[in-house]
Amino acid sequence: MDSMQNMKKRIIAGEGFRITVLTERLLRLEYQAEGRFTDARTQVVSCRDFGDREVAFERREIPGGKGAELETEALLVKYAGGPFSGMTLSILVKATGETWTPERRAGTLWGTARTLDETDGNVLIEPGLFSREGFGVLDDSKSLLFDPKAEAGGQVYPRKEEGSDLYFFGYGHDYYAGLKDFYRLTGRTPMIPRYALGNWWSRFYKYTEETYMELVEGFEREGIPLAVAVIDMDWHLTQVDPRYGTGWTGYTWNREYFPDPARFLKHLHDHHLKATLNVHPADGIRAFEDPYEEMALAMGIDPATEAPVEMDLTDPQFRKAYFDIVNHPMEDMGVDFWWIDWQQGTKSKMEHLDPLWLLNHYYFKDQEGRNVRPMIFSRYAGPGSHRYPVGFSGDTYATWKSLQLQPYFTLTASNIGYGWWSHDICGHMHGQKSDEMMIRWLQFGVFSPIMRLHSSGNIFFRKEPWNQSPENRRIMADFLRLRHRLIPYLYTMNRRSYEEGEPLIRPMYYECPECEDAYEVKSQYFFGTELLVGSIVRPMDEELRMGSVSCLLPEGTWHDLRTGYRYRGGRRMNLYREITDIPVLLKDGGVLPLAGEECLNAEENPKVLDWYVGAGSSGSFTLYEDDGSTMEYRSGAFLETTLSYVRNADGSARVTILIEGRISLMKPGRIHRVHLLGTDAEVFELAEQPEEIFLRKDFAPGEIREKAHDVGEALFHRIDLAWIPYDMKEQLYGYWEREQDPAAFWERARKADISPALKEALYEVLNLC
């Protein structure tokens, strides 16, 4: 039986309703009084064909065709007929024992929001697909229909009939399965270009060609890599004759600032930077713009009238002219992608059509049609927006409250499949100066989907590393270099997001769904498959001089990549760090590939790889690489390198590296440096030889030994760091020197007249394993 025939057998229809069993846990629920249903694609839903998967269900029709009952392995549906309501429709999720009705408001785990513009830590987040009760609903009733066979990019049109078109997700706490089916229903998250995973520089500032290149060269002198140059709206004319309106919308280069735009863009490319320009498209093309005359003629307007060419992407004629006449010449000049800064709300000429969605869709599709790896930079426009990365979260206040929101806001976005948020790292405006907040924000940014520094033009709002104190300058450089070292890992997660439907940022409850603590930690998340990150988002304890974050450590042994600390899992605890670090943990058996410190170009696959292995258990990782910028990966042009670590019961071990695929994508003579964390083994190298695709190193029993923590040294450091009386420091450390026993030390220290934070910090290092 073919897929479509299989799907037809999963439809239960009657008077005014249609229920489709897409999977055992995913249903389409339609009600339309006249029975007029649609099978067309919508703005949100692109594929309802799940017919390749066998689904067993039992159907029990109600006499008269006014309703139905059905049961799958996971769900029990009772529908009495008529419009969907708490009186007519209920669905039991067997995994949780909870029942949904259209009136029930469950304890949603949240999704995301359109923007953080002008927010100071508080924002109304829209519901996502999941709840503690085990269900969620995607309402597609108002979504426009979509004809993909129309001209390039397709065409949207309104629904003719009012009704309900719902998708019920009853996945219990199996969040990964729910996400995978959501992506199948609505479309994959595309692979973004490799360079997008590097450091972005952005500022709402009147740069000129000269001052921008001075900035780029300043980063180069610091040895700090950049990948993307964002040029805010002052690239174009902003001081315009009032008869044309304001200068927010613009398509004409400001030649006073950028006398030779092609030269400027070439300079950026010569320095290994990609360029994006900000555009506020609301006012269309007006008479003072360079492309006005050609656009006016293309739209049948007499240029002599100076009538504006309105922005209307619902019009195929305008759409073609806009991209061909306005955008493509600038892309040919060197603009790599566009920052679409739509701030005019959700209303348009077509009912239920959000102009932001239209802009995102057609800008993305236009790039796709030009055979480049498409990417835009724009705000979230509702479910399905994951198909148009990257997201611009808007202009936030530079406050601790804003920082405290961002990790949580980023992890809940995964619950609606939106995985590539870019925030204004270190805050955009207002607030007050805090070097500590800036550093903590930067550290979160390095371990967020997109690392983009951004701020207003306030002359005191300076984020350049060389404008900071010596200590903060060093910390910023350390973390910004680390971001580029992470690119091989991040790019592999980019591939997994596309291929497996797994977002980079994963809430703790994705991996620990039955653990209550997993739902309570707001600043901790899995960063891809291998890393656990705790963002420190509150000021340090004044006495202890350290910041902290509440972390859940799942079962197993966890290695902190920054400090070398090793923790025993299966508990929740506060982890304390100086301003130089945040917790970044790798589990035993985990394998993390980083680019060598000498290989920080975001566009290139590195010649040197550093592999970090949690050496207490066996594990493996497959690194994915392609050319990073084209669509050739779809036809098999990629390379996979798998490092496997096997730890045997007798203490012997083996490291192997297997290379498969398009070898030409790798620099000749690549060097693999292997770090066995938690052991006293020295870093060793495995160097590739021509045509060699398998590398190996064996360790005899006893050759790899666990490295013990020096608890006394760790205690001394934390006591020394604390701002407490010297006599108390001496007393505390004396407890350790006399007995050097963690239990005996803790029995005395917990009774000492010191702050709870200092006690927790000491307890943390006493419990290192």
Q: What's the CA gap between 224 and 634, in Å, rounded?
A: 33
Give me the mean pLDDT over the 461-482 stretch.
Answer: 97
pLDDT in tens, 189-247: 999 999 999 999 999 999 999 999 999 999 999 999 999 999 999 999 999 999 999 99
Better-predicted residue by pLDDT, 437 or 690:
437
Structure confidence at residue 705 (pLDDT): 94
In which band, very low, low, confident or very high, does the pLDDT at 28 lie, cut at 50, 70 and 90?
Answer: very high
pLDDT in tens, 638-672: 999 999 999 999 999 999 999 999 999 999 999 99
Secondary structure string (H, E, C) spanning 668-718 = CCCEEEEEEECECCCCEEEECCCCCCEEEEEECCCCCCECCCCHHHHHHHH
In which band, very low, low, confident or very high, does the pLDDT at 497 lie, cut at 50, 70 and 90?
Answer: very high
pLDDT in tens, 144-202: 998 877 766 788 999 988 999 999 999 999 999 999 999 999 999 999 999 999 999 99
pTM of the predicted model, to two decimals? Answer: 0.97
pLDDT in tens, 709-758: 999 999 999 999 999 999 999 999 999 999 899 999 999 999 999 999 99
pLDDT in tens, 255-286: 999 999 999 999 999 999 999 999 999 999 99
DSSP result, 597-610: TT---TTS--SEEE
Helix axes 742-749, 756-766, angle to 10 degrees: 180
**pLDDT value at 351 more than 90:** no
Those residues with Cβ within 8 angstroms of residue 174's Cβ, 6 or more apart along the chain or in another chain: 25, 95, 513
How far is CA 363 from its chain centroid?
Answer: 20
Average pLDDT, the chain: 95
The burial class, CB within 10 Å (0-12 / 13-18 / 19+), for 151 is exposed
Beta-ladder partners of 755: none
Beta-ladder partners of 551: 573
Structure confidence at residue 6 (pLDDT): 81
**pLDDT value at 1 more than 60:** no
pLDDT in tens, 401-446: 999 999 999 999 999 999 999 999 999 999 999 999 999 999 999 9
Those residues with Cβ within 8 angstroms of residue 485's Cβ, 6 or more apart along the chain or in another chain: 594, 595, 596, 597, 600, 610
Structure confidence at residue 148 (pLDDT): 72
Beta-ladder partners of 646: 654
Nearest alpha-carbon partner for 733 in 723, 748, 743: 748
The helix (run of H) or strand (run of E) holding residue 573 is strand 571-577
Structure confidence at residue 213 (pLDDT): 98
Longest dimension (CA), the chain: 93
Task: Read off the tokens for 383.
Answer: 């479910």
Structure confidence at residue 152 (pLDDT): 65
Secondary structure string (H, E, C) spanning 81-98 = CCCCCCCCEEEEECCCCE
Per the CB < 8 A criterion, the answer to whether 567 and 557 are in contact is yes
CA angle, residues 273, 391, 454, in degrees to nearest 5: 55
pLDDT in tens, 96-140: 999 999 999 878 999 999 999 999 998 999 999 999 999 999 999
Structure confidence at residue 114 (pLDDT): 95
Q: What's the CA gap between 639 and 550, in Å, rounded?
A: 38
CA dist 613 → 558, 621, 702 (Å): 11, 10, 18
Structure confidence at residue 347 (pLDDT): 72
Those residues with Cβ within 8 angstroms of residue 657's Cβ, 6 or more apart along the chain or in another chain: 641, 642, 643, 644, 672, 686, 694, 695, 696
Per the CB < 8 A criterion, the answer to whether 192 and 184 are in contact is no
Q: What's the CA gap between 447 and 444, in Å, rounded?
A: 5
Per the CB < 8 A criterion, the answer to whether 77 and 27 are in contact is yes
Per the CB < 8 A criterion, the answer to whether 11 and 18 are in contact is yes
Per the CB < 8 A criterion, the answer to whether 426 and 436 are in contact is no
Give me the mean pLDDT over the 385-390 stretch.
Answer: 98
**CB-based burial, 96-128: b 16+ in 10 Å, e otherwise:** bebebebeeebebbbbbbbbbbebbbebebbbb
Q: What's the CA gap between 570 and 588, in Å, rounded?
A: 14
Using only C-alpha atoms, what is the Rg of the chain?
A: 28
Structure confidence at residue 66 (pLDDT): 84
Nearest alpha-carbon partner for 142 in 388, 282, 316, 350: 350
Per the CB < 8 A criterion, the answer to whether 693 and 663 are in contact is yes
**pLDDT value at 607 more than 60:** yes
Tell me what percent of the residues of the chain surpass a pLDDT of 70: 99
Nearest alpha-carbon partner for 419 in 502, 513, 533: 502
CA dist 753 → 327, 723, 749, 767 (Å): 67, 13, 9, 21
The burial class, CB within 10 Å (0-12 / 13-18 / 19+), for 271 is middle
Beta-ladder partners of 278: 339
Phi, psi of 156 (to 5 degrees): -100, 155
Structure confidence at residue 151 (pLDDT): 67
Structure confidence at residue 59 (pLDDT): 92
The helix (run of H) or strand (run of E) holding residue 476 is helix 470-485
pLDDT in tens, 290-300: 999 999 999 99
pLDDT in tens, 327-343: 999 999 999 999 999 87
Per the CB < 8 A criterion, the answer to whether 112 and 126 are in contact is yes
Q: What's the CA gap between 385 and 388, in Å, rounded?
A: 6
**pLDDT value at 691 more than 90:** no
Q: Which residue has the tokens 């994508």?
A: 665
Per the CB < 8 A criterion, the answer to whether 417 and 167 are in contact is no
Percent helix, strand, coil in the chain (nearest 5)?
Answer: 30, 25, 45
Q: Report which DSSP code applies to 540.
A: P
Query: Of the ranges 119-133, 448-462, 678-692, which one carries the lowest mean pLDDT score?
Result: 678-692
CA dist 43 → 159, 226, 360, 697 (Å): 11, 35, 12, 52
Per the CB < 8 A criterion, the answer to whether 264 and 258 are in contact is yes
In which band, very low, low, confident or very high, does the pLDDT at 613 lie, cut at 50, 70 and 90?
Answer: very high
Nearest alpha-carbon partner for 382 in 10, 115, 134, 136: 115
Give me the mean pLDDT over the 524-545 stretch.
Answer: 97
Per the CB < 8 A criterion, the answer to whether 281 and 249 are in contact is yes
**pLDDT value at 4 more than 80:** no
**pLDDT value at 352 more than 90:** no
Q: What's the CA gap between 574 and 258, in Å, rounded?
A: 51
Q: How many CB atoms lie within 10 A of CB 38?
A: 14
Locate the DSSP E strands across 202-287.
228-231, 274-279
Whether the bond between 390 and the residue before it is cis, its omega within 30 degrees of 0, is: yes
